[in-house]
Amino acid sequence: MQSGRGGDAAEVLHATLRISDPRQRWVLSRRPAINPAFAIAEAFWILGGRDDAQFVNFWNPALPRYAGGGASYHGAYGKRLRDGFGFDQIERAIDALSGTPTSRQVVLQIWDPRIDAPRIDGSPATPDIPCNICSILKIRNNRLEWLQVMRSNDIFRGTPYNIIQFTIIQEYIAGCVGVELGDFILMSDSLHAYEADLDRFSIEPSAPMRSDCTIALDRARAAEALRECGAALDALTEPKLKLPELQKIVLADGIPRGHADLLRIAAADSARRRGWASAAFEAAAACTDALLRKAWTQWAADRANAQATRSADLSQTPVPLLTRNVG
């Protein structure tokens, strides 16, 4: 056991995971289920080079408890990748791999020791220190191979989302370069599970399913689709969003199928959070990717069960005498 900010944790050092088809990124085996809409929104937040907290907090209101309550997130991967070191690393990687496909020098750097290294006493510099250190990209046999290096990885809370985030970025870059998807390797220097989480989370077998959607596009169309999806996701977080606006996003007119399916699941969760049950069902039903749709169904069922449990608990709580209506 090792101790951390979440308490004692069981740990495996230098753990490696390989995914031979990164499009099969939607983890169905975790209980409670993952939130695919949050994973989608965070992936586009990263690709958009953003660090604003309000956007991702909409999709995961618990996030400030772990990453701090400021207006921006110190360790935001997208900000680091797009301009944190004075240039756009993603665009440079696309240029470099297009120009020299045999290159062994393409590394996307996230960790910045100037601001991420612990203080002299070993305490963290901020609550939001990047867990992902870097990505190492290579093209072999016309396939983009990806090694994701992590200093620390919570197998229940983090691993499923890290897989989704970085395989989406992998597929985005592969499409821009014009190559196929290779393996995705996740190497965690500390793969762990907190003792307090062992009664809350589990991994259960799931029926085999496959995704047949792709978000790989040529460079110009990929950039355009990224802008379109970013604008749609921003709209889905707006407090004053109207139902017809959400329904227009679900139609996804002119948006490539793979991107449209991601937006539909995000729209389903936006509708769910607003209490629009029918709209949430219709948005999810419009998703053509069966694997992604299943991930959403599991998440929505978990949320409904949790809400029912809370309601039952409240109904059984005695009302204090002084707050009763004694007429």
What pLDDT, on the 0 to 100 scale, is given for residue 315?
64
The structural domains of the chain, ordered by start, are 2-308 (3.30.572.10)
Cβ(257)–Cβ(267) below 8 Å: no
Please tell me the least confidently modeled range out of 88-97, 204-213, 274-283.
204-213
Candidate ranges 197-206, 264-273, 304-313; pick with highest mean pLDDT: 264-273
pLDDT over 60 at 319, yes or no: no
Instruction: Report pTM.
Output: 0.93
Confidence of residue 171 (pLDDT cuts 50, 70, 90): very high
Determine how many CB atoms are found less than 10 A away from the CB of residue 22: 21
The model's pLDDT over 109-126, given as tens digits with 9 standing for 90+, comes to 999 999 999 999 999 999
Sequential DSSP letters for 208-269:
-----------HHHHHHHHHHHHHHHHHHH-TT--HHHHHHHHHTTTS-HHHHHHHHHHHHH
Sign of CA dihedral 289, 292, 298, 301: negative
Confidence of residue 3 (pLDDT cuts 50, 70, 90): confident
Q: Which residues touch 43 (CB under 8 Å, ≥6 apart)? A: 164, 165, 168, 169
Please tell me the least confidently modeled range out of 59-63, 157-161, 202-206, 278-282.
202-206
Query: In this prediction, what percent of the chain has a pLDDT beyond 90?
Result: 87
Confidence of residue 323 (pLDDT cuts 50, 70, 90): very low
Sign of CA dihedral 262, 263, 266, 267: negative
The model's pLDDT over 179-192, given as tens digits with 9 standing for 90+, comes to 999 999 999 999 99
Active site residue 131: yes
What pLDDT, on the 0 to 100 scale, is given for residue 320?
47
pLDDT over 50 at 321, yes or no: no
pLDDT over 80 at 285, yes or no: yes
What pLDDT, on the 0 to 100 scale, is given for residue 226?
98
What pLDDT, on the 0 to 100 scale, is given for residue 325?
35
- The single residue of 131, 176, 213, 287 carrying the catalytic annotation is 131
What pLDDT, on the 0 to 100 scale, is given for residue 197?
94
What pLDDT, on the 0 to 100 scale, is given for residue 316?
66
CA nearest 40: which of 29, 53, 52, 56? 56
pLDDT over 70 at 177, yes or no: yes
